[in-house]
Amino acid sequence: MSTWGGSVTAQTTVDRPFFSQLLRERSWGFHQRAESAGFMQALMDGEIDRAGYALMVAQHLAIYEALETVERELYTSDVAKPFLTDKLHRVPSLRADLAALVGPERVRTLPLLPATLRYTVRIREMSGWAGGFVAHHYTRYLGDLSGGLAIGKVVARVYGLTDAGVSFYRFDQIEKPKPFKDEYRAHLDAAPWEPDEQERVIAEVLNAYQLNTDVFTDLAEAVGLGGGR
Ligand code: HEM
């Protein structure tokens, strides 16, 4: 029996999963779509050349700049605060990776794709809604600490990189991802969200997954992968 959101009496128990569990269950279908995007599969199969990989890193840089800018704006928010830690920050590693891949002078010259721009606009809109910001924070960072770690190993092998170029996938300050993710999920469970706000947060996570899938679609098109996605 789960005691979601507080006290439960024997007579009136309505079994509801913890919010972190609910969120995962409700969004997993969207996760699978993002995971199986053509660009992602081609990347894992070693079919994307180095320039295509660099283009993806440039999209990530714009996305994390938006996330980490909004994070600074929400630093005093009681809702967002439990989730925030410098240990997760990815902008410095993405800048370094991109500089290593294309040269420091070209870091700002790679194009941002339309889906990336839509994604960053949406993230910036979250500066007025901490729950929505957490939705985007969760979708990226918990993913980076999950499948992202495995993706990093494949990418490092495919491009023959050991550090510079793939440091995004390495969290130096998080020794053990599992306890970190458990704590993160405990913060999700403790967030002061009524059921209607929980629904809004779940909907924003689905939106975040969709935006990620859209970025993969644009990337596929940009690198000339057959069929777009
Ligand atoms: C090839 C691509 C991908 C693979 C192989 C993959 C794999 C995985 C795996 C195995 C887990 C479960 C880890 C666990 O139970 O602790 C996971 C979790 C997760 N992934 Fe992915 N993933 C991929 C792409 C993505 C993308 C594109 C996103 C979103 C941007 C994402 C976001 C997440 C999130 C948020 C979780 C945590 C779910 C939760 O436990 O609440 N993943 N991924």
Which runs of consecutive H residues, i.e. helices, occur in 146-194?
Answer: 147-159, 177-190
Which pLDDT score, from 0 to 100, does residue 6 have? Answer: 35
Q: State yes or no: pLDDT of 184 exceeds 90.
A: yes
- Percent of the chain at pLDDT > 90 equals 90
Alpha carbon 138 to chain centroid distance? 6
Round to the nearest angstrom and report the end-to-end CA distance of the chain. Answer: 41
Cα separation, 171 vs 88, in Å, equals: 7
Q: Residue 20 CA: which ligand 1 atom is closest? A: 41
Q: What is the mean pLDDT of the chain?
A: 92
Q: pLDDT at residue 11 above 60?
A: no
Query: What is the residue whose two structure tokens read 């919010």?
Result: 19
Nearest Cα residue to atom 1 of ligand 1: 35
Read off the pLDDT band of 124 (50, 70, 90): very high
Q: For residue 71, how far is its CA from the centre of ligand 1 (angstroms)? A: 22
Which residues are annotated as part of the binding site for heme b?
24, 31, 138, 185
pLDDT of 157: 96
In tens, the pLDDT along 53-109 reads: 999 999 999 999 999 999 999 999 999 999 999 999 999 999 999 999 999 999 999
Q: What is the pLDDT of residue 227?
A: 57
In the prediction, which pLDDT does 54 show?
Answer: 98
Q: How far is the CA of 8 from the centre of ligand 1 (A)?
A: 32
Short-list 94, 84, 88, 182, CA closest to 133: 84
Domains of the chain by start residue, with CATH: 34-222 (1.20.910.10)
Distance CA(148)–CA(119), nearest Å, equals 19
Task: Write the residue with the smallest CA distance to atom 2 of ligand 1.
Answer: 35
Mean pLDDT of the 132-157 span: 97
Judge whether residue 20 has pLDDT over 80.
yes
